[in-house]
Chains A and B, each alone.
Chain A
Amino acid sequence: MKDFAQTRPVPRAINWNRIEDDKDLEIWNRLTANFWLPEKVPLSNDLQSWSRLTDEERTLTIRVFTGLTLLDTIQNAVGAPALMPDAATPHEESVLTNIAFMEAVHARSYSSVFSTLCTTAEVDEAFRWSAENDHLQAKARLILDEYDATASPLRRKVASVFLESFLFYSGFYLPMHFSSRGRLTNTADLIRLIIRDEAIHGYYIGYKFQRGMEKLTEAERQEMKDFAFGLLFELYEIEARYTEELYDPMGLTEDVKAFLHYNANKALQNLGFEALFPDEACRVNPAILAALSPGSDENHDFFSGSGSSYVIGKTVATEDEDWDF
């Protein structure tokens, strides 16, 4: 060949009937089945509830949502695309395009909330606030620096899982808190759709990280693990300050921090690592847990309750043709 170093090779046409990694197809199928748009949620039903919030609560909500918008914007425009050249299979690349697009849907959803509930001036002020907030900018900076570091595909995945499975939760806390008190319940429904998507994103990128780790030597694995725990710690420090700034006035900081610890541990588990924070630091308010998964705590677990109010199974439409009975 001549000096064609600058010329990109023609990619192989993607064949979805030859799968190298079953997870790619499984996740593609789930993500596409879960596709949604904000129009699906009747946000205007929250207008009355919104008008009953205090000024302070309204400002906090809009600020929190602009912070979340920033993270989704980053993941849409930089994060998911940055993972594409690292893809181990062509199907992984396709899944990442789906993830990238859904991040745009998430970012767009917050603006739907704004246009339904808020005035233009309030929203403009909040976007200015997020562009100038040191903590928000610092966490974005840390993540972007990892995305831009060309050397390590696995470090990029660590940063991405921390964004997907950890950094969003200081923000997600607030609509779950309101929802547990019967406020802004439609907005909470929309946020739960986003939370479900982020769960699959964090899971999938973490899964690919684990496949990559298998190819490293023991020493390299240890180094990667040290990097991951170090980055989490740096991000946690910022999140703690961000949380105090936002939630101190409402007296919710300690509650939010327990939620942060709990989610940090889950982010590490997505990467295949053990927890960092001890269980005592992760006692999330049960009302928040119930808001995350409504209905799922109605039945007693045999091992945790007396068993007296125990019911065998709830009725759910979950037929699967593979069952023989």
Chain B
Amino acid sequence: MTPLAFYSSRSGNTARLIDRLGLGGTPLPPVGDPPRMDAPFVLVTPTYADGEGRGAVPKPVIRFLNHAPTRALLRGVIACGNRNFGETFALAGDVIARKCGVPVLARVELAGTETDIIRIRAGLSHLFADLEAPCSIPA
């Protein structure tokens, strides 16, 4: 079971980021039934907001998170976007963090830089090491 779930539209930036991370990942389909998760995972999603911040979280991601048992397993979100969108940069991460009570683990532009890849790999391996050793999590 891979610990990442991700959505990427046909422009493919998020999919390229996932590829480069080399950790695998469960893709969310653009239409149809979203997959359901059965172990703790991290979500990677792009941001598609309008100028007012509406619609930041892609619909397939919303449908995926609407399933409560899947949502309960979400441990954090990696938000993709582009700084050129100003105040709504990587806003999908903030929206999901607020609604699901999880941290924004990283904000990434487009398909990410080499530095992003290293940072995310290291961060994920710590996060999942902690999750596998429940006694180390403070109450």
Contacts and interface: CB of A to CB of B under 8 A. Distances in A.
Contact of B110 (A270, A304, A318, A325): A270
Interface of A: 22-23, 26, 30, 33-34, 36, 192, 195-196, 198-199, 203, 206-207, 210-211, 265-266, 269-270, 272, 275, 278-279, 282, 289, 292-296, 299, 301-304, 307, 310, 312-318, 320, 322-325
Interface of B is mostly: mixed
Interface in B50-78: 50-57, 59, 62-63, 65-66, 68, 71, 76
Contacts, number: 143
B12 interface: yes
B138 to A, nearest CB: 12
B104 A296 contact: no
Contact of A23 (B10, B109, B111): B10
A294 B87 contact: yes
B96 to A, nearest CB: 8
Contact of B95 (A279, A299, A316): A316
A279 B113 CA distance: 7
Contacts of B137: none
B107 to A, nearest CB: 6
B50 A303 contact: no
B10 A207 contact: yes
Given A23-B10, A292-B83, 13 more contacts: A199-B84, A210-B11, A211-B10, A265-B113, A292-B89, A294-B86, A302-B106, A303-B119, A303-B123, A316-B53, A318-B55, A323-B99, A324-B66
Interface string B18-52: 00000000000010000000000000000011111
A311 to B, nearest CB: 9
A18 to B, nearest CB: 17
B62 A196 contact: no
B97 A322 contact: no
A269 B13 contact: yes
B104 A196 contact: no
Given A317-B52, A318-B91, A302 B105 contact: yes
Contact of A296 (B12, B68, B83, B95): B83
A306 to B, nearest CB: 13
Nearest to B57: A320
A289 B122 contact: no
Scoring B10, B11, B87, B110 by chain A CB atoms within 10 A of each residue's CB, the highest score goes to B11
Contacts of A36: 51
B136 interface: no
B94 A314 contact: yes
A323 B62 contact: yes
A294 B122 CA distance: 27
A221 to B, nearest CB: 15
A23 B122 CA distance: 34
A278 B63 CA distance: 38
